[in-house]
Amino acid sequence: MREFIDLIIMQFKTIKAYLAVFLFIPILFPIAIILVFGSISMKEFTPYIVAGTITFDISIGVITLVAQILASEKQSGRFSLMIAAGIPKEVYAISIALSYGLADILSIIVILLVGIYFLHLQVASIPYLAIAIIASIFMASVFGMTLGLGIKNPYAVYQYSQIIGLTLTFFAPVYFPITFIPIPFRYLAYLEPTTYVSQAIYNAFGGNPASLLWSLGIVIIGVIFVIISRYAIKGA
Amino acid sequence: MNIIEVNHVWKYYGDLLANEDISMFVKEGEIVALLGPNGAGKTTLVKQIYGELTPTRGEIRVFGKKPTDRGIKRMMGVVPQEVEPYEDLTVWDNIYYMGKLKGMKKDEIKKRGEELLEMLDLKEKRNSLVRDLSGGLKRRTLIAMALINNPKLVILDEPTTGLDPQARREVWEILLNMKKEGQSMLLTTHYLDEAEKLADRIYFIYKRILIEGTTAEIKEKFADWYEVIDYSAGKIYRVKGEEEVKKIISDIKGKFEVRIPSLEEIYLQVMKDIERVH
């Protein structure tokens, strides 16, 4: 456990080196999106704009980033370094996924504050929102881990993770209600994890207990990724 | 006492054979080199010794225990092949966190870390980010990370590959100083001069162990090989047995030289034989 905490601290120290990128991609970029979308959309869709932007942030800031960081760790041989130091590769991979997941909480808070102050968003249930966000970060971290370790070629990981990150944001109902999608296509949307993230957060804003059901969906998807990532770690 | 014992180890990657019935050992205070070309299975063997891979068949014992034992790892320092330190951390942070991950206390890390900075001439670079360092300094940082826990055994997988001649010499100097202090080491290399300069014993490896012994013993095994250099004709003859040497010398008109082959020539000959068989 002590080593695990040291790994997390070490990861945070390395994140510090990317501060400029960290400030732009996971914080300033989503703020720009939320303000632009928020100013051109109707007021009743404001919660969707904020929920969608948080989903976008989790997609890019956790799934894509964790996958790319793990691929780069593999490429630079640091898994060997850690195994030689007595750290199991599972623990090392989880520490990276978790630290980037936790770092993303900061940008989620910033997005929420921008939503509240500039778009007059109201959050009816903080517990529902906390559950939705924690479940989403867990799922996104494990998803990123699966991508980063499951695909052997690191350059392929960089490409796929970017495409997946963007696809899961703009080809899923994250900025609008799922009911906007006609029935046969709606079933496809249920296959996208970001649908669950966005809906859980949106329902939490309204204090709707359905948020918990969506969060349960996120956890189930997360557990599926845990199972897949175990095989990915073994093969890495 | 044998620190490392490898008994009849076979390793396959799918159908690809990487190690074939390898048996070897490293005694306390000894430097052993695994020498072989790229793809000879040196890294695969080393990875099994420090517990990253497990043998398909056979057994490996390090300090009498399985290499995957976490207690064993605390007694080891490893510099894996083509690995980079954390580029976004300073030299000191790399050393410090490696000490923490190896279960050391803060005070111990600080004391040993300062010694290593001094020993490896990294003091001035203490607060530099690793990404700003040259290849040689990065390698020194990795060595410091491997040595932070004062390990009884150091494993170095191609410690000087990719370094310029000066940086290579610097790493050699460090390893020779460690040797003077009685450090046990296992290193892999494809540089003959490196093995000859650093190792007490050498294993020629190409999937399996081809030849084993000290430099002198290996040369002794090839004692009936001679190299006759005919300076007047500009020719080199490699011959076996004194009678053959005499015959060639009698035909030479002008200056000539008779030498016993160097380790490099023996190595090249052995590898040529292997290529012929395969």
pTM value is: 0.78
Residue with tokens 């064993």: B72
| B206 reaches A (C-beta below 8 A) | no
Distance CA B3, CA B43 (A): 19
Pairing of strands B57-62, B16-27: unpaired
Are B151 and B98 in contact by the 8 Å Cβ rule? The answer is no
Please spell the DSSP secondary structure of A112-134, one letter per residue: HHHHHHHS----S-HHHHHHHHH
Distance CA B211, CA B24 (A): 11
Chain A interface with B: residues with Cβ < 8 Å: 2-3, 6-7, 9-10, 13-14, 16-18, 76-78, 80-87
Pairing of strands B57-62, B31-35: unpaired
Do B87 and B107 belong to one domain? Answer: yes
| pLDDT (0 to 100) of residue A133 | 95
| B101 reaches A (C-beta below 8 A) | yes
Do B183 and B231 belong to one domain? Answer: no
Nearest to A77 among B80, B98, B155 (CB): B80
Contact check, Cβ <8 Å, B74/A82 = no
CATH number of the structural domain spanning residue B184 = 3.40.50.300
d(CA A82, nearest CA chain B) in Å: 9
Q: Quick check: B162 pLDDT over 90?
A: no
Which residues does A135 contact at the CB level (< 8 Å), separation at least 6?
A: A200, A215, A218, A219, A222
Q: Quick check: B275 pLDDT over 70?
A: no
Contact check, Cβ <8 Å, A17/B88 = yes
In B120-191, which ranges are continuous DSSP H helix? Answer: 135-147, 165-180
Mean pLDDT, rounded, for B102-131: 90
Contact check, Cβ <8 Å, B51/A83 = yes
Do B84 and B208 belong to one domain? Answer: yes
A22-26, B57-61, B149-153: range with lowest mean pLDDT? A22-26
Residue type, B267: Y
Q: Within 13 Å, how many C-alpha atoms sit on residue A159's CB side? A: 6
What is the dihedral angle through the alpha carbons of B157, B162, B165, B171, rounded to the nearest 10 degrees?
-30
CA angle (A7, A75, A58) in 5-degree steps: 60
| B76 reaches A (C-beta below 8 A) | yes
* Residues of chain B contacting A92 with CB distance shorter than 8 Å: none
Nearest CA-CA partner of A225 in A217, A91, A116: A217
What is the dihedral angle through the alpha carbons of B216, B219, B221, B227, rounded to the nearest 10 degrees?
-160
pLDDT in tens, B11-38: 999 889 999 999 999 998 899 999 888 8
| pLDDT (0 to 100) of residue A55 | 92
**How far is Cα of residue A2 from the mean position of the Cα atoms in its chain?**
26
Contact check, Cβ <8 Å, A76/B83 = yes
Do B211 and B244 belong to one domain? Answer: no
ipTM, two decimals: 0.78
Contact check, Cβ <8 Å, B50/A78 = no
Which residues does A43 contact at the CB level (< 8 Å), separation at least 6?
A: none
Contact check, Cβ <8 Å, B100/A81 = no
Do B243 and B143 belong to one domain? Answer: no
Nearest to B88 among A3, A6, A14 (CB): A14
Q: Quick check: B145 pLDDT over 90?
A: yes
Q: Quick check: B163 pLDDT over 80?
A: no
* Residues of chain A contacting B102 with CB distance shorter than 8 Å: 85-86
Distance CA B146, CA B77 (A): 4
Per-residue pLDDT tens digits of chain A, which is 236 residues long: 777 888 888 877 777 766 777 677 667 777 888 888 877 877 778 889 899 999 998 988 889 988 998 998 888 888 888 888 888 888 888 888 888 888 888 889 988 998 888 888 888 999 999 999 999 999 999 999 999 888 888 899 888 888 888 888 777 788 888 888 888 888 888 888 999 999 999 999 999 999 999 999 999 999 999 999 888 777 66
Distance CA A49, CA A42 (A): 10
CB neighbours of residue B166 within 10 Å? 9
| B49 reaches A (C-beta below 8 A) | no
Which residues does A212 contact at the CB level (< 8 Å), separation at least 6?
A: A128, A131, A200
Do B187 and B263 belong to one domain? Answer: no
d(CA B96, nearest CA chain A) in Å: 10
Do B202 and B255 belong to one domain? Answer: no
Cβ neighbourhood burial of A163 (10 Å; 0-12, 13-18, 19+): exposed
Nearest CA-CA partner of A160 in A144, A174, A179: A144
d(CA B277, nearest CA chain A) in Å: 33
| pLDDT (0 to 100) of residue B178 | 82
Nearest to A77 among B74, B82, B129 (CB): B82
Enter the tokens of residue B30. 């000894």
Distance CA A123, CA B138 (A): 50
- Closest residue in B to A81 (Cα) is B80
Q: Where in chain A are the domains?
A: 2-235
Contact check, Cβ <8 Å, A87/B101 = yes
B218: phi then psi, degrees, rounded to nearest 5: -65, -40
Distance CA A56, CA A211 (A): 18
Nearest to A83 among B52, B82, B102 (CB): B52
CB neighbours of residue B252 within 10 Å? 16
Which residues does A228 contact at the CB level (< 8 Å), separation at least 6?
A: A146, A150
Partnered with residue B33 across adjacent β-strands are B187, B202
- Closest residue in A to B147 (Cα) is A85
Mutation choice for B interface testing from A72, A80, A91 by most B CBs within 10 A: A80
DSSP secondary-structure letter at B260?
A: P
Mean pLDDT of chain B: 87
Do B214 and B273 belong to one domain? Answer: no
- What's the domain count of chain B? 2
Q: What is the helix (H) or strand (E) element at residue A83, kind and residue range?
A: helix A78-84
Q: At B277, is the pLDDT very low, low, confident or very high (cuts 50, 70, 90)?
A: low
Under DSSP, is residue A20 helix (H, G, I), strand (E, B) or coil?
helix
* Structural domain range at position B125: 2-218
* Residues of chain A contacting B98 with CB distance shorter than 8 Å: 85
Distance CA A234, CA A106 (A): 32
Nearest to A85 among B89, B93, B98 (CB): B98
Q: At B93, is the pLDDT very low, low, confident or very high (cuts 50, 70, 90)?
A: very high
Final residue of a domain: which of B194, B218, B242?
A: B218
How are the residues of chain B apportioned to helix, strand and coil, as percentages rounded to the nearest 5? Answer: 40, 30, 30
Q: At B190, is the pLDDT very low, low, confident or very high (cuts 50, 70, 90)?
A: confident
Q: At B153, is the pLDDT very low, low, confident or very high (cuts 50, 70, 90)?
A: very high
Residue type, B3: I
Sheet with strand B2-13: strands edge to edge = B16-27, B2-13, B57-62
- Closest residue in B to A9 (Cα) is B97
| pLDDT (0 to 100) of residue A236 | 63
